[in-house]
Structure 1
């Protein structure tokens, strides 16, 4: 399918999910995940009016970022596991990093952001489902991790992120998304960071409608929106 077909199709699904849950469409931002498509297709995505671009690996994203991001096109999100030795390449180029999950990474990110004179906007990644194949903190470790993050003046936590298991029936993912929302709300009730943490990055092509119903503010859509090559 072409973007001229997929964009209105996905938009309709988003609007319906928002309506079912009593939310405004403006509360949900869409990240077009371009990790499986070429730089040329990424350019077409940006031309189509999709503003937010998601990439998983710097090695794959570099050519695309240099073609478009370096020219000021798009808002770039790093959504994959980030190795500490790649922090120097990512911080300062990607507006949001969705995969902060360990102290060693926070230290490197803070150091790079300080050198650039910026605050790195990050989501803490949680492994809510407990799958061994997924990255992220265990939910029980969240509050201790947040306490340690207070030492880093150049990191700003803007939300929590998780990936649900792939399920043939998307409804089965609901408890994962609901738990992430509860954890975000707990942080805010306790003022754990001293400021509001507004966002939830959750929901992909297979399950984003359920994620929206459970409070997602950022959804990460690849195959259903931009396809695969």
Structure 2
């Protein structure tokens, strides 16, 4: 039997340890529970165990699941996003982690313009130059930031990455380090309405290394909820 409360507690202990190693304040690191393919009752259980932020990756699944969760959770969207599906997220998520192109940012801005809310976004960078993964290239990042920043209904909070997978987390470290360096480069431009204070990086297999390299949001599913079954 999967004990969600125990798992959350263990993850926070590991985050705290990684912060201690790297001289960081654990309060700087927020845990996003990746709840894709997990039922509403497990989300409720995690919420009542102290978890507040939940990340979903599939728009249709989120649309169906959202009304089933009565707890006042903070929803983040962390998966690949098509512009024609943004309307289903409008006003329901506080943060979108996967903005990798201007056309998507423009549609997010247009949809949130219909609400009295703004939405926080991360710009996704393909640090591993993997054709199978979304994200702008490091070379395109500054141009994307400059194009997206003036959009009034969203706020750039920082960068996100899905680095190449390695069984050894130490092999992922250079990619986390690169994302941190890119954020610092953008911060040094002092662009209006642009913040690079947040880094969304690190998952169940490598989040401690990500924290050591500056992650402020770690996205963890398996280590909280157990292995995922196939999406129906």
Q: How does 1:57-68 map to 2 (within 5 A)?
A: 57-68=58-69
Deviation digits for residues 32-68 of structure 1 (CA, Å, limit 9, x no counterpart) = 0010311221121112110000000111112321122
Q: What's 2:109 paired with?
A: 110
Structure 1 CA distance for aligned equivalents of residues 158 and 76 of structure 2: 13
SS class of match (1:115): coil
Q: What's 1:35 paired with?
A: 36
Structure 1 gap ranges (5+): none
Q: What's 1:132 paired with?
A: 131
Structure 2 CA distance for aligned equivalents of residues 55 and 211 of structure 1: 20
Deviation, 1:79, is 0.1
Q: How does 1:202-213 map to 2 (within 5 A)?
A: 202-213=201-212
Structure 2 CA distance for aligned equivalents of residues 150 and 16 of structure 1: 35
Q: For this pair of structures, how many residues does the alignment match? A: 227
1:200 correspondence with 2:199: yes
Structure 1 CA distance for aligned equivalents of residues 48 and 65 of structure 2: 14
Deviation digits for residues 98-134 of structure 1 (CA, Å, limit 9, x no counterpart) = 0111111111111111111322210000101111111
Structure 2 CA distance for aligned equivalents of residues 129 and 193 of structure 1: 28
Q: What's 1:226 paired with?
A: 225
Q: What's 1:3 paired with?
A: 4
Contact 2:149 2:156 in 1 (8 A): no
Contact 2:35 2:55 in 1 (8 A): yes
Structure 1 residues 177 and 39, CA gap change in structure 2 (3 angstroms): same
> TM-score, normalised on structure 2?
0.93
Q: How does 1:1-229 map to 2 (within 5 A)?
A: 1-68=2-69, 71=70, 73-227=72-226, 228-229=228-229
